[in-house]
Structure 1
């Protein structure tokens, strides 16, 4: 592994203003101070509940959204506020796969034109011509090159997502942000697409930021995992550490929801009470404290820092982190969760 990360994020934030008529109604703190790195050839998984800021983070990484604060470094270059001219060259190294294969493809364009568009926009003529390169990309993602002149509506959901992957690969990028690329697909097709991404990563040396809420898919594909809650990273570490020895109560609650036929009965599930707080007015101190069974007075007054303990590689933002392997509490512990 390279000694320097390909992508380095520090203090990344995105706040959306809310207006009440002509007056300001405050700020939605969709993403509020993220720190993480991605190394070449590595996959970082971003997981969490819907609305925690995963997709907003992904769009900031590829500069589809302008960050409110913080910095994004790609290959040692600060790209946080790149202009349009600089972004054009950046697109060759940094691409995105969108969540919905039905909405991300122009229905008026053929598949050949869709995949060729990045090459044409950047004025790139590959050896053998654009048409030959597009056919090569279609074959690379498991599609028939003869489908060059077909339209998106003639393909299934899984095939459309493969077209989106081919488009992302057209410029030979170094890092791809995959924004829930399998969540809109049938379960039987999800495994095929994830295995395709793994093969492409191995053959092309790609790095991924893989955004998902399916923890089983993340465990299969990602090397490192960052768990997000209400715009913050609450735990980050190697995949095995996160899944086998989670330290943050929220991570433990997420993992307890994974179906497991070896764990029977209702006692195996940590059921969080209450609703996720609004990002318009997040709780003071630890944002998870209103749903945490370990919350104490300090959790309301002091925000926990993302800290690495005992010289390990796993960092947790919690005043009272768990230790040891995952041990799901019984119903009596879960009933004490404050609302």
Structure 2
């Protein structure tokens, strides 16, 4: 049976214009694993409020980071796909969870090439309901409805894979390029605290109390919070970072429910107030730079830091199409194939 790969990333509007942003946000926010409330409440919130207020502001943010070639997330994902394809003989497809580059289209293209078995690679190091799970569940639904003879496997979360940690660590080291810094902040995409409890397969371990994430448990296999803190810890060990010179935070909260803390914007503000002058920040929840990294962190985060008296704000790029990351993906693919 011919094998193939489908890389899957988040997605992007087709353009930074409000109408395209509204369409994209509608699909994204109506996902029950992103806003996990009953359909009637989600519809009221998204279609009744958010889509009538947010698209214009989001479009302005997208315009700040949009490249001549298109959406940075899409362009960078396509570069990654191209480089990985050069290192393997089996077909490598690319799809997005939201937007016009759909998973259905990606699977169809592979099937058209004679592929009967697919390795689905969600481009997220950590497992989360709103990222990995929604990709895997949708791919399964599409397979059952449209491609009943297609076999699909999924690459598990690779947050603690030693080779991934080495690639991430060396990328951080390379982009710091010997620059001195007072603090290195690991900022991860935020999720509501209830997502952590919902993903707890033990139904009892995750209490988000400061100790559960460092106490061994089967729950860690699907615990986004644990996996984020673990990436920070493992990279800290790899780079021999001194205690107190690095920390973890979470960005991009939405609504009024409790989200994972500490919050990135408040952490940047606090560090500036404490007298930190040289700060570096890395975003390991993503493998490709996107709106959250290029606008929320590199622009808004830097502005907050400077307002608080900080001087040097260094944003470390995501892995993107880094050659070592490409080689590692190609190795995983060859091992599977």
Q: TM-score range by the shorter chain?
A: under 0.3
> Which structure has the greater CA radius of gyration?
1
Q: TM-score, normalised by structure 2?
A: 0.27
The alignment's TM-score, normalised by the length of structure 1, stands at: 0.27
More strand by share: 1
Q: Which structure would you say has the larger RCO, counting Cα contacts within 8 Å and 6 or more residues apart? A: 2
